[in-house]
Structures are given as C-alpha cells and as structure tokens.
Amino acid sequence: MSASAQTHGNGSIPKPRSQRQLVFNVLRYDPARPEAVPRMQAYKIEEADSMTLFIALNEIREQQDPTLQFDFVCRAGICGSCAMMVNGRPQLACRTLTSALPEETTLAPLPFFELIGDLSVNTGKWMRGMSERLQTWLHTQEGERDLRRIEERMEPELAEQIYEMDRCVECGCCVAACGTAQMRKDFVGAVGFGKIARFRLDPRDGRSDDDFYDMIGDDTGVFGCMSLLACHDVCPKSLPLQTQIAFLRRKMAAMGL
Amino acid sequence: MTDVLVIGGGLAGLRMAIAARKRGHEAIVLSLVPPKRSHSAAAQGGMQASLANVAKGIGDNEDVHFEDTVRGSDWGADQVVARMFVNTAPKAVRELAAWGTPWSRVRAGDHQVIINEQKVTLSERAEAHGLISQRDFGGTKKWRTCYVSDGTGHAMLFTTSDQAIRHGVEVHERTEALALIHDGERCYGAVVRNLVTGELVAYLAKATAMATGGAGRLYRVTTNAVICEGMGQALALETGVAALGNMEAVQFHPTGIFPAGILVTEGCRGDGGLLRDVDGHRFMPDYEPEKKELASRDVVSRRMEEHIRAGKGVSTRFGPHLWLDITLLGRRHIEHNLREVKEICQYFLGIDPAEKWIPVRPAQHYTMGGVRTDHTGQSPTLKGLFAAGEAACWDLHGFNRLGGNSVAETVVAGMIVGEFIADFCDKPENTVPAPLALARQFVEREREKLSLLLESPGRENPFQLLAKMQQIMTDYVGIFRQGDALLAGVAQLQDLLERSRGIGISGKSRAANPELVAAYRLRRMLKLALTIAYGAYQRTESRGAHFREDFPRRDDQDWLKRTLAVWPEEGANLPHLNYEVLDVMRMELPPGWRGYGAKNYIEHPDTPRRQQEVEARRNAMLGRDRHAVQEALMPFTDQLPASLAGRNERLDEPLEQAK
C-alpha cells in the first residue's frame, strides 16, 4: 500500500503515557463589545505526548470553543507571534510543552499592548511605531551602492555580534515584563534598546551618539529604565539585554554631561 | 485606490512594494499578520548566490548556479527565468548587505570542516577576508549558500521590513483578500476583509501583486507556518481566468523533526550532518554514491521513505522515522552556526543535538507551482495581476527547487517583478478610471457569501473537514504517488468539497471569528488540493518531486510541459487542465541526467539535435569569454530590467575585465 506507507502514524494510536487532565483558565474579553466584561473561562483537555500550548489551544478551539482568539504563525519558536502570559510569565506559547506546566494553568494576553481579543494582542502596531520612532534601519552616508560590485567587507566577529542583537523577534515579552512600561506608555522598552545597540555596533551606520541621545536620552528611553531587568530574564531568544542596556545608559549618561 | 496593491507581507511582497515606492508609486501591502512574522522568517539555512568568496566556492559563477538550478528542476524550469534569477541573486545579497543584513563573513586562514565524515582543513584566501561567506547545500556543485548563522530568513525579513518602513510603505496588518476584482481581462484590486472588525473594503489598484507564499497547510505534516494555506493561488484560481502552473510539483523536505514536522535546516547536512537508520547505519551512500546526503531534496526524501519501507526506520507509536546525526559537527559549531536547530531540539524534543541524534522524517515543505506568470511576473491571461515568490510560477524551480533558491527567489523576484510593476504603472494607458460599480458588485458578492455561511443551517464542521483534507493529501498525494490512489484521493476531495457546502458556523460574529475564517478558507483550499491531486493523476511520468510509482521514468517525449490549471465554473468540482510545451530547441541546457537520482528517462526527440547544436556552438567559440558563449546559446539579458542587467564582480572576475 504505497499511499498509507508514508503517513505518520495514522491507524491505531495507543493511549498516551501521561493521562493528565489539564485545566486552562483563559482570560476572555472582546474589546469590540463594550457591554462584555473580562472573565476567566476554564477548559479541560486530556494531555498528549509532546503537547505544546499551540496544540492544546488549537484543540480547544476546534473541539470546544471556536470563538477563542489567539495568534500563532510559525509554531516553531521563530516568528514571535504567540507571546502570552503563562502562569503570570510572558513566554512563547508555541514552544511551551505542557509537560513543563502544572495541571492547572492560567493564560492571559500580554499586558501593555492593545488587546484584540482574548489572548491576541496588537504587537505589530506597537513595533511599527517603535521602528518609526527609532528609525531602525541602517543610516548610511553613501548613496546607492553599485550592486554589481563586490560587497563592503566586515570583520566576521563583528557580523556575529550584530547578528546576536539582530536575533530579536519583536515578540513583546520584554515590554510585557517591564516595570517602567506598566507606568509609561511611551517607553521604548528593551526591544528598542536592543535595536539602538545593534545600529551603534554597525560602523556603517552614520548616526552619532548625539543622534541616539536625541532619541533615547530621556525618561521614555534609557533613563526611564529602573534596572529591574525582567526583560533580560524573559527574553525567549536570550539576548544580552542586561549588558546592552547598562552599556547604553553609561554612554548616554556621558552624553548628557 | 492606490498604484500597487501587494497581497502578502513576506520578503517577495515587501521587496516589490519597495521597488514601486522607489520609482515613485504608492504601495499598500496587505498582510494576515505583522509582516515580520511572515513565513520568510523561517528560512534558516541560507540563500544561493554565486559570489565565489570561500575556497570551496572558487570557480562558481552564474553558469554553474544556472546548471544546478535546471538540473534540480529536472528540466521543468523556464531556462530564461533561471538565467535572469542567477544573474540577479548576487545583486540581491549585496543589496541586503548594504541595507544591513549581517551576513556571516569569511575569515582568512585555516579552518576545519566535516566533509563526508572526515575532518578536512580548508584554507580561506586573505583577499576574501571579511566578504560574505558561503556554505554547502544539496544539489549544488559549489559552496554557494550565503547565510546569517541559521537565521538567514529572519535577518533578511527584518532588514527588508525595516526598509519598507523607511520608504513609507503602508502595511495593513490583519487583513485578508477574499477575491480579486476583475472583469475577465484585467485585474483592478481586491475585496479585503479586516480580520479584527470583519469590515469589507474594496482596494483598487493599477497593479495587484500576489505574494502570499506556499500552500503547505494542505498537508497534515508540513514544515510551513499556519498561515501558508495557498490563499493567493486560490484567489487567482477563482478568477476563472488566471492559471496556476505545475501545482502537482510539491516538495518534501528530508528533515522535518518527527512527528511535529518542524523544519531543521538543510544546513545540518550541508555542514556535514548524516542520515542514519534504526541500526545507526549511514544509508545514503548506498543509494546515492555521488552526492550522498546532499543530493537534491526530492531524491533524498524518496530514498529516506524507500529505506523506511525496507524496514529500516525506527518504530514509534506515531509511525517510523530516521535519524539526523549532527553530533560529529561538535558543540561549538552547533551553538554558533546551528543555533535555531539547537533551540528547536531543546524546546520541542527535549534533546541536545550536540549529544543525541534528531528524529526526522520528510515533511511537505514547498509549493513549486503557483500563479502562472511570464518572466515579468504578470499573468499572461489576467492583465494587471502579478505574482512573485512561492505563490508564483514564473517557473524558476520546475519540479524540484534547490535548497537556498527559495529565499533567494523571494528577493530576486521582488526586485525584478517590482521593476516591471513600476514600468506597468508608468504607462499612461494603465491608468484607468476606478471601476466603482464592478468593485461594489464584488464586495456585495463576498458579503453575500459570508452571510450564507453564517446563516447556514448546515452541520458540517470546518475544522474536521480540514483535518480530513490534510490526511487525504498526506496519504494519497505525497512523496510516492500511484494512479489508483490518486484517483481515490480526487474522489474523496470532491466529496469533501461537496460536504463543505453544508458547513454550519456556531459563532455568528461577523467580526473576529476563527471558525468563519476556517470555513471560507477551507473551500478554497479544497480547490487547490483538487488541482494538485488531479494534476498529479494526469501526469503519467516522474519528474523531480512528482514521483509516480506506476510511471517511474521521466518522460521528456510526452511530458516536457507545464501543467496549467484554470477553474472557470464556480460550482465545478475539478479544474480544467491545459499544457504548455517547453521547447527543447531553445534550451541552453538540453535535458539529460541530473547527476543524482534515477538515470533512466525517455528522451525528447529534439534533445540529440539540440545537444549537437549546443556543442557545435560551444566548440566554435572555444576560448571566447563565457558570457559571449552563453549569449550565443540563449540570450536573456534584454529580458531583465536595465537596472539589474549588469554582470557581477567576483574576486577572480573583476568587473572591468568581465566587460
């Protein structure tokens, strides 16, 4: 049977080893319906092997509640769409294995960002605003390069260091975990500092520390940071935010003198 | 009303929008998700461009990249398009470098790599120090894959997306096109639904460009993101006028992690990783002594499934799998160059790939087919409709795409098609009065369809039908295909299409409503699934990723042609298939053996004649510059936009000398 030989495990599937009943308490709210009030709703499902929150939430939506809103795209920990509060901590839901969770789990949308509904928040809009404000693109002095020509050289170590900061997926976990952001809606957050640090590293970027100071040299920028550094702890890509923020503060403080 | 409406916010879409903006046209990008979340971000391993900087890339150039691509395609590719592509790829990498993409760079001096289980010392040239580095990938003669660690697509997408912001490209996030507005001859834009509010709006444009990516979610096991549902192809199909090319050409990637199907990059094998079976035996050299693990993806995937059928898979309750072993690459290499792989193994499998083997099995990965366009990216049958990237079939990949050629295609096609779109918008005759009545009619039609769905008393559940469709595609239209099974698959899909007319929706909201979305997308997905299955049934040969067990040979005599599918009647349950012949007499590289995979094929009657002609011309021009020889065999440079037509400089090929 050619056709069935290539399927992955259809047919009789034995019962999973772990037979836990999981309970997910989900914060439900639809801001488009002002008459509705936020409420917690509990869903029960049976745990399966290698179950992630991506699998669990989709199962809930497909079998119990087709109105439940949440965002997933890559489901592989790459795109940053699915950050949510899992038992009070911001993290990527797609790569959260249920085996790492207790039997009862509370899921809530990321705070700070505009709520779309249930677990879905508008990180995209905020991130675009941040990019426009900090102008997160390379500011080169030269005009258009002749693309036929050999590329400009860069030290291999420097390219690696820039990539290290470039790994940010703009998931919003750092801002959701940030004490300052809870109080200041105009705070640029660790994600913003990471971008500045990335362009400061790049010798091709023509902006000076003066220019960066104009963008982040106040309480909406580095001087708003209270050094609680939850951003560093929750970053799913383990970006060195602590070091970068400390460094930026030192540089910017020196600029302000 | 805008100049250019781009549907899809991944690399191809954003790059087209940037091209339009740079030429002074307005551009709006529609995106289901914030553009930086697009599936382009998932391209890990790299982008092919013949820069020839590294030692193992010396001697690489457009000619070698062209031949690799055409052989990879199993001669299904349009060779003029392949030439346009390989000539633009170096420019695309260099443009991204100038925009800030932190490409991994060459370090002068000795370094150790693993090639065929052996530690080999390579020595990089001092003059290459600091230039963009290349790694090895399947189906290539030279090391040609430029990379940013193993986050290439991510870095490219963020760079390009930020450039789009810089150039003021408007992106309308969380919007979905539901229909193309057209009059049977020309496309005028799209009916668009806001996924948050449910509002329907007509977007009118001089040019409409489809860049919605692939259709992996037609299959149960796929590496694709959940948004890769083929909606761009489906909308084109639903016009009844635009055609889809080669939809039966579906690629399966050898190394999806088992059983979730999440991709681990080809870079694992490119960097020296091995495939092993239940006994720990490295089996690929037994099947493919020349290229081993680095034959093209279609060949490696088939050999893996063949080996599993021979009983050499590792049994689990989810079915059998094989192993990918990268432990021999060493922890330092894995933690620096294969970080995403390490994270994926850690989070989804709970293993450390520096210590343990990774369970893998081929998973659906790429849609070679798509909206049929000419070399400018425009549909030959629906004026004003353009397409680029995975959603399109200008036909770079034929029946099998090489690793590293898709992410390259996104930006290359974005550059090329973007220029042609700007040309199109520049022409006064393409500025037409807004067809308001037509637009209103299309909006009303979509509103009516949504109302019918919401009010339907039907009892079918869209999620269940979707799961059934995915199972049918995986079971009957997968790596190994067979006439009877395909026919059974077609019948079952037709049954599902019929049942989808009885879908009922439990939540009645017209605003954000995941069930409603699943329902209307499902019908479109079923049409695409039928197009793939029926095309696969009709194509009685094996070519590239399309493998028929009952017709195992490539048949150039009868099947050196491209499938074109149209769906003229809304209520039909099958597409109409037509075929477009590929002319051997115009090929620069006439059909032959690929250098890996099966050696027996049925020759086209013109092939020997064309081969002689090509050889005679080459001999007559012995000693002449390679560009002149190429030009004599198959001219292409006048097909490129003038701004992209120039030659490419390399360390061993200075630009002045090349002229």
Measured CA to CA, the distance from residue B631 to residue B637 in angstroms comes to: 8
Per-residue pLDDT tens over the stretch B430-489: 998 889 999 999 999 999 999 999 999 999 999 999 999 999 999 999 999 999 999 999
Of B162, B317, B348, the CB nearest to A136: B162
Handedness of CA A56, A59, A65, A70 (dihedral sign): positive
What's the pLDDT score for residue B287?
96
- Residues B423 and B563: their CA atoms lie apart, in Å, by 29
Give buried/exposed letters for A183-219 (b at 16+ CB in 10 A, else e). Answer: eeeebbbbbbbbbbbbbbbbebbebeeeebbebbbee
Q: Which residue shows structure tokens 């912001």?
A: B165
- What residue type is assigned to position B228 of the chain? C
Quote the CA–CA distance of B300 and A95 in Å, as a whole number. 28
| DSSP sequence for B119-149 | EEEEEE-GGGTTSBPEE--TT-SS--EE-ST
B residues 330..369 contacting A (CB < 8 A) = 336, 340, 343-344, 347-350, 361
Interface residue B438 vs chain A (CB under 8 A)? no
Contact B531, B221 (CB under 8 A): no
What is the torsion angle, in degrees rounded to the nearest 10, for the CA atoms of residue B630, residue B631, residue B632 and residue B635?
Answer: 120
Mean pLDDT across A40-52: 94
Nearest Cα to Cα of residue A257 among A189, A219, A209: A209
Could you tell me the domains of chain A? 21-121 (3.10.20.30), 135-139+155-255 (1.10.1060.10)
Contact B440, B453 (CB under 8 A): no
User: Can you read off the two tokens belonging to residue A8?
Assistant: 């992955």
d(CA B395, CA B374): 9
**Mean pLDDT computed over every residue of chain A:** 91
Report CB contact under 8 Å: A8, B478: no
Cα separation, A180 vs A175, in Å, equals: 9
Q: Do B318 and A8 touch (CB under 8 A)?
A: yes
Q: Coil, strand or helix: which one is B90?
A: helix
Confirm or reject contact between B173 and chain A (CB < 8 A): yes
Calpha distance B117→B110 (Å, rounded)? 19
Query: B196-235 burial by CB neighbour count: b if 16+ within 10 A, else e?
Result: beeebebbbbbbbbbbbbbbbbbbbbbbbbbbbbbbbbbb
Residue A6 has pLDDT above 50, yes or no: no
Minimal Cα–Cα distance from B183 to chain A, Å? 34
**CB-based contact (8 Å) between B59 and chain A?**
no
Structure tokens, A31: 């801001």
| Residue B253 known to be catalytic | yes
CB contact under 8 A, A159 and B480: no
- Write the pLDDT tens digit of every residue in B479-526: 999 999 999 999 999 999 999 999 999 988 899 999 999 999 999 999
Distance CA B100, CA B136 (A): 23
Is B604 marked active-site? no
Q: B49: burial class by Cβ within 10 Å (0-12, 13-18, 19+)?
A: buried
CA distance B211 to B8: 5
CA distance A68 to chain B (A): 8
pLDDT at position A143: 77
Distance CA B73, CA B71 (A): 5
Catalytic annotation, pick one of B182, B269, B302, B303: B269
Q: Is the dihedral of CA B540, B545, B549, B551 positive or negative?
A: positive
Confidence band of A18 (pLDDT split at 50, 70, 90): low
Residues B220 and B474: their CA atoms lie apart, in Å, by 6
- Output the pLDDT for position B154: 97
Q: Is the pLDDT of residue A16 over 70?
A: no
C-alpha span between A58 and A72 (Å, rounded):
10
Taking CA atoms, what residue in B is nearest to A129?
B165
What is the DSSP track for A77-113? SSS-TTEEEETTEEEEGGG-BGGGS-SEEEEE--SSS
| pLDDT of amino acid B174 | 98
CB B244 within 8 A of CB B233: yes
Q: Which residues of B touch A205 (CB under 8 A)?
A: 100
Predicted TM-score of the model (pTM): 0.95
Q: Residue B65 — left, alpha, or beta (φ > 0 → left; ψ -120 to 50 → alpha)?
A: alpha
- Give the C-alpha separation, B438 to B394, whole Å: 29
Residue B470 CB coordination number (10 Å): 19
Mind giving me the DSSP string for B520-543?
HHHHHHHHHHHHHHHHHHH--S-B
Distance CA B482, CA B577 (A): 19
Residue B625: other Cβ atoms inside 10 A: 12
List of chain B residues with pLDDT < 70: 657-659
* DSSP 8-state code for residue B36: G
For residue B642, the one-letter residue type is A
Confidence band for A17, pLDDT divided at 50, 70 and 90: low
Is B405 touching A (CB cutoff 8 A)? no
Peptide bond into B359 cis (omega under 30): no
- Cβ neighbors of B459 (< 8 A, separation 6 or more) are B502, B504
Q: What is the pLDDT of residue A13?
A: 43
> Comparing C-alpha atoms, which of B399, B385, B406, B375 is closest to residue B84?
B375
- Residue B579 to chain A, least CA–CA distance (Å): 27
Q: Given B39, B103, B220, which is nearest A74 (Cβ)?
A: B39
Q: Measured between beta carbons, which residues in chain B are less than 8 angstroms from residue A97?
A: 347-348, 350
Instruction: Give yes or no for a contact between B84 and B630, defined as CB atoms under 8 angstroms apart.
Output: no
Who among B38, B317, B647 is closest to A13 (CB)? B317
Long-range contacts from A224-228, C-beta under 8 angstroms, 24+ separation: A224/A180, A224/A184, A224/A187, A225/A180, A225/A193, A225/A249, A226/A179, A226/A180, A228/A178, A228/A179
**Interchain pair B475, A7: CB under 8 A:** yes
- Chain A residues closer than 8 Å to B254 by CB: none
Q: Does B91 touch chain A (CB under 8 A)?
A: yes
The whole-angstrom separation of Cα B7 and Cα B30 is 5
User: Nearest by CB to A138, which of B100, B349, B361?
Assistant: B100
Give ipTM to 2 decimals. 0.94
Is residue B172 exposed (0-12), middle (13-18) or buried (19+ Cβ within 10 Å)?
A: middle
Does A156 contact B348 at a Cβ distance shorter than 8 Å? no
Q: Which residues of B touch A79 (CB under 8 A)?
A: 33, 36-39, 41-42, 225
Whole-number pLDDT of residue B607: 97
Do the Cβ atoms of B34 and A124 come within 8 Å?
A: yes
d(CA B339, CA B337): 6
Nearest-Cα residue of chain A relative to residue B319 = A9
**What is the DSSP track for B416-427?**
HHHHHHHHHHHS
Cα distance between residue B438 and residue B545, in whole Å: 41
CA distance, residue B380 to nearest chain A CA (Å): 30
Interface of B with A in 68-87 (CB under 8 A): none
